[in-house]
Amino acid sequence: MIRNFLLIFLHFFNRHLDVDSFGAGIQCDIYDNEDESDEDDDDQEESSTEEFQNNHEDRDNDSTSESSSEDEYEKQRKKEYFADESETINCNIAESFQTMNLSRPILKGLSQLGFIQPTPIQRQTIPIALMGRDICGGAITGSGKTAAFLVPVMERLLYRPRQTPTVRVLIITPTRELAIQCHSVATKLASFTDTTLCLCVGGLNLKKQEAEIRTRPDVIIATPGRLIDHVRNSPSFTLDTVEILIIDEADRMLEDGFSAELNEIVKNCPKSRQTMLFSATMTDNVDELIRLSLNRPVRLMIDPTKATAVKLIQEFVRVRKHREEDRPSMLVALCKKTFRRKVIIFFKSKAFAHEMKVIFGLLELKAAELHGNLSQEQRMEALEAFRDGKVDFLLATNLASRGLDIKGIETVINYDMPQSYEQYIHRVGRTARAGRDGRSVTFICETDRKLLKKVIKHAAKSQIRRRTIDAKIITKYREKLDKLKNQIKEVIEEEKEEKAMRLAEMEIQKNKNLLMHETEIFSKPARTWFQSKLEKQKSKLVAKKQCETSETNNKRKREKAVKLKSKRDKRAKKSKLKR
């Protein structure tokens, strides 16, 4: 049923786009004067959207039966490792924060953050975390996972012994931006308590962090690399007193080759601790969780079907093979005419994200960029400018796709289709957060069909639409960009020269410092790391291979599970007939 539906959808998709314009769908509202033929097209497209939604019900019935058989092959392994459902929750799921028996300072902090009612993941997680159980939790993006683990942590810290200050809670995040955001939320939540916090991320002053660590804060929020650096090189700093270990976006860290770093952190923490893993896309690979040494964890999966947010409208714009060079003009057309504020645009490469920032600047579109080529200060400035509304567009790479919660994001534009469905979920998850409305627009080409099918399959509760951009509008902006080519090159060349000058100045200053403070510098012990450079590269390659092989293995196992279930059903029918 699913296969037939997708074939019909894609057939309509192709037939509708035989005209010279781009896209697949609802007529775009980016031009003012529409002729009568365009209005007729709109009527046809609206009816096709209704057909699409009606067919969703049939597809859902198929997907539910398929998913039930898919889970068969992992049930046994989960029984062996995860706690039984009967023994996990002996407490009622609270409907509000007041019924969770939280202290008044925490309730004040929650009201300051604007949290009124707990989300599903918060309702299930907070009571179990307060019991001290290990948790393996997952939910869709924007469901409130950060507060789900911060609230029980802050509540438990109110009853800590205060004789000697010690590090009791360690929170690990994959990116600096996510750590900074988590630190900001934790600071507001703990504003009516005496709980102390410390942020340890790369790109910020190392000496200041060392000074903060010496005060033994109650909570450390860190990225894996900088934390290990402090453990190995900061005097008298250990993780021996950690009582709660929280790993946020655990799947991202494993995918990015942080498994060795996580193992090192876990080794340095005491065994008698509470451990919580959280992610928007928790994989079912139990071996990875065993490697992170959880003790009979409670498994909390809210919407485990990897669906997108309910109020997210997903639009797709088709880019034909011979029109690939028109992507920039299509993007500019959308940003100039339709989506004018609070827009995040995702790109594959850092270089192209910067090039588009230059183009946006020349076209008088207020934009900031966020990617790995920027310093930490520049990244923070870009995020603040976007949050405060000083710029309307944030041009980013996958760096901004995880965990970042910026209020009021109206639209997410994918300039390229992401490599995986999980990446797509995280990107579009920047909008339509916490029950708000949102829209995503994705440029797709012929090679993206497979991923498009997967998006449609998992979009039972959200709306899928097709968007077209008028060829005249695209031609208009293509001509504008062609005229700006020389200016763009000049700006990029100037920036390269300025960067080279800055690096030269830094090198001169470095050499001056070496000459002036030679004895002091060389008397200090060299900073050490638990891996060599070669070992670090190898571990990243191994992590990538493991992700690829685990995906293929899971597919095979699910296929086997489906076949086994169908055989069992046939046998059951035969036995009934015999009786």
- CB of 298 within 8 A of CB of 134? yes
Stretch (H or E) spanning 543: helix 533-578
Residue in 52, 61, 3, 59 with CA at minimum distance from that of residue 26: 52
Which neighbouring-strand residues pair with 298? 135
Closest CA to 399 of 375, 371, 367: 371
- Written as one letter, the residue type at 565 is K
pTM comes to 0.74
Selection from 31, 26, 3 nearest residue 476 by Cα: 31
CB-CB contact of 245 with 148 (8 Å)? no
In this prediction, residue 491 carries a pLDDT of 94
Which CATH code is given to the segment(s) 312-486?
3.40.50.300
Return d(Cα 131, Cα 525) in angstroms, integer.
44
Q: Strands 197-200 and 219-222, how do they pair?
A: parallel
Name the one residue in this structure whose structure tokens are 């685990």: 550
In this structure, the dihedral spanned by the alpha carbons of residues 476, 481, 483 and 486, taken in order and rounded to 10 degrees, is 180
Question: Which pLDDT value is given to residue 292?
Answer: 64
Task: Please tell us whether the domain made up of 78-301 is placed in CATH 3.40.50.300.
Answer: yes
> Which residues contact residue 260 at a Cβ distance below 8 angstroms, ignoring those fewer than 6 apart?
530, 531, 535, 536, 539
Helix H, strand E, coil C: the string for 76-136 is: HHHHHHCCCHHHHCCCCCCCCCHHHCCCHHHHHHHHHHCCCCCCHHHHHHHHHHHCCCCEE
Neighbours of 312 (CB within 10 A): 25
Q: Could you tell me which residues are beta bridge partners of residue 26?
A: 467
Q: What is the largest CA-CA distance in the chain?
A: 96
Distance in angstroms (rounded) separating the CA atoms of residues 133 and 295:
8
Beta strands in 349-425 (DSSP E): 367-370, 393-396, 411-414
What is the C-alpha R_g of the chain? 26
pLDDT at 532: 76
The helix-helix angle for 449-457 and 421-428 (nearest 10°) equals 60
Q: What are phi and psi of 155, to 5 degrees?
A: -65, -45
Domain definitions of the chain by residue range: 78-301, 312-486
Element (DSSP H or E) covering residue 314: strand 312-318
Q: What is the rounded distance in angstroms from the CA atom of residue 402 to the CA atom of residue 398?
A: 8
Q: Which of 401, 402, 400, 382 is nearest to 392 (CA)?
A: 382
Three-class SS state of 319: coil
CA torsion through residues 105, 111, 116, 121, sign: negative
Amino acid occupying residue 305: T
78-301 and 312-486: identical CATH topology = yes
Length of the chain: 579
One pLDDT digit (tens) per residue for the chain, 579 residues:
555 544 444 444 444 444 333 333 334 443 333 333 333 333 333 334 444 444 444 444 444 444 444 455 555 555 655 666 545 545 556 778 988 989 999 999 999 999 989 988 999 999 999 999 999 887 766 778 899 999 999 999 999 999 999 999 999 998 898 999 999 999 999 999 999 999 999 988 999 999 999 999 999 999 999 999 999 999 889 999 999 999 988 877 877 778 888 889 999 999 999 999 887 665 554 456 556 668 888 888 876 556 677 789 999 999 998 899 999 999 999 999 999 999 999 999 999 999 999 999 999 999 999 998 998 899 999 999 999 999 999 999 988 887 677 888 999 999 999 988 888 988 998 888 777 889 999 999 999 999 999 898 888 655 889 999 999 999 999 999 999 999 999 999 999 999 899 999 999 998 888 888 878 777 777 788 877 778 777 777 776 676 666 666 666 666 676 677 777 777 777 776 666
Q: What's the Cα-to-Cα distance from 400 to each of 125, 148, 576, rounded to whole Å?
A: 26, 21, 56
3-class SS string, 415-450: CCCCCCHHHHHHHHCCCCCCCCCEEEEEEECHHHHH
List C-alpha distances in Å: 496 to 112, 233, 367, 396, 483.
Answer: 45, 35, 20, 20, 22
273 neighbors 245 (Cβ within 8 angstroms): yes
The token pair at 498 is: 């300025």
